[in-house]
Amino acid sequence: MDSELTEYHVVMEAGSEALHLIHLPATSNVTENALPETSVHKFSVKLSASLSPVISRFPLIINSNPLTEAFRVNRLSDTDFEVVTTGKEQLDFETGPKIFDLQIYIKDDVGATDLQVLTVQVTDVNEPPQFLGNLAKGQDLYIVEGANPGFIYQVEAFDPEDTSRNIPLSYALVSTTKNFRMSADGNFFSTTEFDFEAGHNSHDLIVEVRDSQGLRASTSLQVNIVNINDETPRFTSPTRVYVIPEELGPGTIVANVTAEDPDDQGFTSFLLYSITTVNSYFMINQLTGTIQVARRLDRDAGELRQNPTISLEVLVKDRPFGGQENRMQITFKVADINDNPATCSTFTFSILVPERAAKGTSLLDLNTVCFDGDSEAPYSQFNFTTPSGVGSSSRFLQDPAGSGKIVLIGDLDYENPSNLAAGNKYTVAIQVQDVAPPYYKNNIYLYVLTSPENEFPLLFDGLPYVFNVSEISPAGTRVGQVRASDKDFPQSSILYSISTGGASLRYPNIFWINPKMGELRLVTKVDYETTPIYILRIQATNGEDTSSATVTVNILDENDEKPICIPNSYFLAIPVDLKVGTNIQNFKLTCTDRDSSPRSFRYSIGPGNVNSHFTFSPNAGSNVTRLLLATPFDYTGGLDTNWDYNLLIYITDDNLLSSRKKAEALVETGTVTLSISVIPHPTTIVTTAPRPRITYQILKKNIYSPSAWYVPFVITLGSILLLGLLVSLIILLAKAIHTHCPCKTGKHKKPLVKKGAKMKSTKGEVVVETIQMSTVFDGEAIDPVTGAKYEFNSKTGARRWKDPLPEMPQWRESGPQGAALSRAVSEEGTRPLRSTDKEGDGLSGQAQAEAAGPGFRSQDGKPGIPKNRNAALSSRSSPMLHPGI
């Protein structure tokens, strides 16, 4: 569809009659489930004045509410059209939309268009009922023969109209039968009991459903009668008792049970056999009834030794589950044969005998462990042969002969060389055999082991233990080795451990001992200056005995401590014109070394000392040295370009060593870092123009911490006490003045200001300055105007006078209450204004001079007094106006 259709514009041709649709808008009806091409509405079009024909693909439905493809427009002629159904969507009154709004759009060749709406209403029609699910195609039902008459199945159908209005449907059987019936609500019943063998195997029926308007639908039901098994099988084998010998192999057939089923006459019989008695000796083939041996039949062991008769119950069934069955008892008698030789519970014995066991000690009685499995004599009787074995004849004997009682007749001392040569292990061989044919035999082996006993103590060798180790030895260094021994055999492994000693406040374990070798090693470095001697208690144990030894470890002193100086790092600021040889800001280093003399220090400056401007004095032989300026700075000549110096100072403790010893001895070096900033000459600009008045506003911020609650409390309490004291003094002073100096009232003097005189005022700039009270002044210089020295901060540029200057006249700021006084001063011009301490009067002239900084001058040209600038500023909190210069 081109862009003209997608935009849906309705274009009106100017100056002529427009194209428009006739019989639209309109409302039409269409029945639900209408077939494709069913007419919905016919309409025509009136052409525009140009009589241009309608484009071939128009009119068309451009939109619908709701969206649907169930309708389209067919062309009947050039001006007649018809809306029909498409069949793409089923129109269902019960489940789908009931009203559709179709927008019909038309366009002719010259672009004239029109758009109208057709409303289509779906009308309801009565539809026949429908069977649900598989029932619509027919249903197979099954009834077991012999079942009681009653309910079989619930037939269900659906009608679009009646079901939605809860109107019940009516059901009925079309087929005539006396075996079944159906109720009006669809319940299907049987009316008789069926017998499969009587020939009533299947029934075909037709079921009909009808709605309230009389429309009908039908389906088929096929009822099948299921055959069941109701005859009991019969055994046909006559034998009930079987005699079998023992030791028959598994799988040997010992009996064959047969049976038949009357229900299977004329057909192949499928009977199932099983043994219901719990047993493990026999099994039966479930299809043939053959009984076989499942496991070895031993007449002389287990339950067969006491009762050789086995009774079984055989069950025959014609179905695996729920069929007919029959049972029969059969008995097996197991006959005995001579098949068991004399045997023992074990044929290998390990006997552990203490090395100090006495001669004649009984070691073993074989009669308690050997027996003959045959149930009757003489097959159950046996005896023993004479013991044999290398080295056993002189140590072991059977007493009496053939009795199986073994006794000790020799020496088993574990440390005896002959016994050690034999490994303290002896092997004795004896045979047990039947006394009757066929004389079965079995070999018995006795392994006699001598058990060692603890006869000797565990002792340390080479006492006492004293080891030396250097304090510079790294962790893991071998300190020494201890050794303990025991004369008992076999030699047991000895484990070593440190029971006490070898700890410090910093390390719980300074030493480690190899638990197997007894080798003592360092866990961490030791320090002679902290602990010169360690006393250790070493414990050795072999599982039986425990012994202890004391080990002394002497720490050998070495030069391993670096010199430590105060301060370790520092910042200095010096003027560029500092004299050579000057101790820079009185800076000095104080150094200590835990293992070296104060005279062993040697000082040197590493990288950063460009042009060798700095040196230390003394540079060796003392633990205190001072930093001096060695050579002057030359920035003007271009020799120096660096204004900031970062010096690395080396402090070495080898001053007292000769050159040859320095190469062999341990030397330690400490370091100190210094940052030095050179302050250039300040640049001062002298201005000839009158300076504007500057108003300084000092801003202060009080930071209060809740944890310091006691501070305002103490201040408030002290203020109250001082105020009370001041009031009492004023009262006493007033009484004294009233008593001794009575006042006389005089006439007021005329004001100093002439009548009509005007006070000139100069407007000045207002400068807000925030002063940081904790400024650090790290340099000093000379003011070229006044010649006075002042200190400055190299980072922020803040300055202050270093030495107090002569006190200058102080100026008082004119305030609201001092206007008359200001006018008087202006008129007379001879008397200087006095400073006042009243609140709100501003700063004194001294404070103003301090605020002006270096270069401030009073009216008479003398420099201001910058003395105690911080105190003056901190005593005022309100803004002030600085007098004009």
pLDDT for position 133: 80
Kindly tell me if the per-residue pLDDT of 861 is higher than 90. no
Query: Residue 223: enclosing H or E segment and its boundaries?
Result: strand 216-226
Q: Average pLDDT of the chain?
A: 78
Q: How far apart are CA 859 and CA 693, in angstroms?
A: 13
Kindly tell me if the per-residue pLDDT of 377 is higher than 50. yes
What confidence tier does 129 reach under pLDDT thresholds 50, 70, 90? confident
Burial class of residue 14, CB neighbours in 10 A (0-12, 13-18, 19+): exposed
Stronger pLDDT, 761 or 667, i.e. the higher one: 667
pLDDT for position 16: 43
Q: pTM, whole model, 2 decimals?
A: 0.33
pLDDT for position 864: 40
CB under 8 Å, gap of 24 or more: what pairs does 74-82 form?
A: 74/37, 76/42, 78/53, 78/54, 79/44, 79/45, 79/46, 79/47, 79/54, 80/42, 80/43, 80/44, 81/42, 81/43, 81/44, 81/45, 82/39, 82/40, 82/41, 82/42, 82/43
pLDDT for position 848: 37
Q: How far apart are CA 366 and CA 348, in angstroms?
A: 11
Kindly tell me if the per-residue pLDDT of 597 is higher than 90. no
Q: Residues of 599-621 as b/e, b for ≥16 C-beta within 10 angstroms?
A: ebbbbebeebbeeebbbbeeebe
pLDDT in tens, 524-549: 988 888 889 999 999 999 888 899 99
Q: How far apart are CA 722 and CA 136, in angstroms?
A: 114
Kindly tell me if the per-residue pLDDT of 672 is higher than 80. yes
Kindly state the DSSP code that residue 285 receives in the 8-state scheme: -
Q: How far apart are CA 632 and CA 576, in angstroms?
A: 8
Q: How far apart are CA 696 and CA 585, in angstroms?
A: 33
How is the beta sheet containing 465-470 ordered, strand by strand? Answer: 465-470, 546-556, 533-541, 495-500
pLDDT in tens, 249-269: 899 999 999 998 766 654 666
Kindly state the tokens that stand for 319.
Answer: 């179905």
Please list the residues that pair with 794 across neighbouring strands: none
pLDDT for position 533: 93
Q: Which residues contact 422 (CB under 8 A, 6 or more apart)?
A: 391
- Inter-residue contact 214 to 169 (CB < 8 Å): no
What confidence tier does 834 reach under pLDDT thresholds 50, 70, 90? very low
pLDDT in tens, 200-234: 778 888 999 888 888 888 898 888 888 776 678 88
Kindly tell me if the per-residue pLDDT of 695 is higher than 60. no
3-state helix, strand, coil in the chain (%, to 5): 10, 35, 50
Kindly state the tokens that stand for 831.
Answer: 């008397």
Kindly state the DSSP code that residue 108 receives in the 8-state scheme: B
Kindly tell me if the per-residue pLDDT of 315 is higher than 90. yes
Kindly tell me if the per-residue pLDDT of 754 is higher than 50. no
pLDDT for position 311: 94
The upper half-sphere exposure of residue 652, i.e. CA atoms within 13 Å in the direction of its Cβ, equals 17
Kindly tell me if the per-residue pLDDT of 424 is higher than 60. yes
Per mean pLDDT, which of 391-395, 427-431, 772-776 is the most reliable?
427-431
What confidence tier does 771 reach under pLDDT thresholds 50, 70, 90? very low
Within a 10 A sphere around the Cβ of 280, how many other Cβ atoms? 8
pLDDT in tens, 554-595: 998 887 778 889 898 989 999 988 998 899 988 999 998 877
Mean pLDDT on 745-757 = 41
Kindly tell me if the per-residue pLDDT of 518 is higher than 50. yes
Mean pLDDT on 859-870 = 39
CB under 8 Å, gap of 24 or more: what pairs does 632-641 form?
A: 632/577, 632/578, 632/579, 632/580, 633/576, 633/577, 633/578, 633/678, 635/576, 635/680, 639/611, 640/610, 640/611, 640/613
Please list the residues that pair with 274 across neighbouring strands: 315
Kindly tell me if the per-residue pLDDT of 99 is higher than 60. yes
- Inter-residue contact 678 to 578 (CB < 8 Å): no
What confidence tier does 513 reach under pLDDT thresholds 50, 70, 90? very high
Mean pLDDT on 829-855 = 36
- With vertex at residue 26, the alpha carbon angle to CA 23 and CA 31, rounded to the nearest 5 degrees, is 120
pLDDT for position 732: 92
Kindly tell me if the per-residue pLDDT of 126 is higher than 90. no
Question: Is there a cis peptide before residue 680, judged by omega within 30 degrees of 0?
Answer: no
Kindly state the tokens that stand for 446.
Answer: 């006795």
Kindly tell me if the per-residue pLDDT of 242 is higher than 90. yes
Stronger pLDDT, 767 or 352, i.e. the higher one: 352
β-strand pairing of 382-384 with 425-434 = antiparallel
Q: Which residues contact 822 (CB under 8 A, 6 or more apart)?
A: 759, 814
Burial class of residue 85, CB neighbours in 10 A (0-12, 13-18, 19+): buried
- Inter-residue contact 83 to 71 (CB < 8 Å): yes
Residue tagged 């068309």 (tokens): 60
- Inter-residue contact 665 to 654 (CB < 8 Å): yes
SS3 of 268, please?
coil
Q: How far apart are CA 106 and CA 45, in angstroms?
A: 9
pLDDT in tens, 70-89: 899 998 888 899 999 998 88
pLDDT for position 254: 93
Stronger pLDDT, 39 or 688, i.e. the higher one: 39
- Inter-residue contact 515 to 524 (CB < 8 Å): no
Stronger pLDDT, 713 or 512, i.e. the higher one: 512
Q: Which amino acid is at 169?
A: L
Residue closest to 586 by CA, chosen among 574, 568, 604: 574
Helix/strand/coil (H, E, C) string of 392-411?
CCCCEEECCCCCCEEEECCC
pLDDT for position 776: 75
β-strand pairing of 234-235 with 259-260 = antiparallel
Kindly tell me if the per-residue pLDDT of 416 is higher than 60. yes
In 276-395, beta strands by DSSP E = 282-284, 290-293, 309-317, 325-335, 342-344, 348-354, 362-365, 370-372, 382-384
- Inter-residue contact 780 to 584 (CB < 8 Å): no
Mean pLDDT on 663-678 = 84
SS3 of 127, please?
coil
